[in-house]
Amino acid sequence: MATPSTPAPRSAPNPDRRSERARQAILDAALELCGEQLYAGLTMEGIAKRAGVGKQTIYRWWPSKAAILLEAIEERGRSTLDFPDTGNLEADLRTQMTQVAQAFASPLFAAYSKGLIAAAQSDPDIAKAVVDSIIKPRVDLCIERLTKAQAAGELRQDIDLADLVELLYAPLYYRLLLHTRPVTQSQVDTILNLALTGATK
C-alpha cells in the first residue's frame, strides 16, 4: 500500500496492489467454480484459468483448493462477524443470526457447505481448519455477548453459554446441510422464540 510520505508515481505499477487484485480474482474464481460444479471437479488449474493467473501464482500462496476456499469464505463472510450490543439480547441475536441466514442462503456460500464442510467429513485437517478459522471466532463473539446478557439477568444463571450458542445456530446448519427446508428469516424468529422462552412454558 502507498503511504503518504512516499506516494507511488501513477506510471509505476504497484506490485502489492497487483498482487491483491490477483488474490481477489483467485478467491472469486474459486467461489464461482465451486458453485458451478462438483467439488471433486474443482482444480487449482481451473481456478487459475478462471482468475486469469498462472498456476504457479496460486501454488505460491495456497497449498490446496480447500485453503483457497477457506480464505474466501473467511473474507467474504466478514459480515457475520458483526455482533451488536444494543443492550437487548434478543434483538442483537436476531440481527446477527439474520446475517448468518442471509450468508447461508447466498449462492456464493455454496462453497462453504459443498466444498469445505463436505470435504471436512473425510479430512480431519479441513475439519479442524473450518472450526478454528470460521466457527470458533464466531462462537467466541457470541459467548462474549451472552456473558454480558447473563450478567445483566437476561439469561438463566445455570446454563452453559457454549451450549446455548449451539442450540441457536445448529438449526441454521441443519437446513443448510440436510436440505430439508430453505434457511429463512422466519427460521431465525422461530429459533429465538423457542430457545429463549422454551417449548413447555
Q: How near is the Cβ of 75 to its own copies at its closest, in Å?
A: 20
Q: Does 7 bind its own copies (CB under 8 A)?
A: no
> CB within 8 A of 67, min separation 6: which ones?
129
DSSP H or E run through 172? helix 161-178
Q: Which is nearer to its own copies, 25 or 127 (CB)?
A: 127
Per DSSP, the three-state class of 21 is: helix
Q: Which is nearer to its own copies, 43 or 190 (CB)?
A: 190
Q: Does 128 bind its own copies (CB under 8 A)?
A: yes
Stretch that binds its own copies, among 13-21, 68-76, 79-87, 188-196 (CB under 8 A): 188-196
Q: Which is nearer to its own copies, 79 or 190 (CB)?
A: 190
Among 1, 10, 12, 179, binds its own copies (CB under 8 A): 179
> CB within 8 A of 90, min separation 6: which ones?
192, 196
Contact set for its own copies, span 63-122 (CB under 8 A): 113-114, 117-122
Burial profile 35-69: b = 16 or more Cβ within 10 angstroms, e = fewer: eeeebeebebebbbebbebeeebbeeebeebbbbb
Q: What is the DSSP letter of 157?
A: T
Taking the alpha carbons of 46, 48, 52, 54 in that order, is the dihedral positive or negative?
Answer: negative
Contact set for its own copies, span 147-176 (CB under 8 A): 154-156, 159-160, 163-164, 166-167, 169-171, 173-175
- C-alpha radius of gyration, the chain, whole number: 20
Q: How near is the Cβ of 9 to its own copies at its closest, in Å?
A: 48
Residues lying near its own copies in the complex (CB under 8 A): 38-40, 113-114, 117-124, 127-128, 130-131, 135, 139, 154-156, 159-160, 163-164, 166-167, 169-171, 173-175, 177-180, 187, 190-191, 193-201
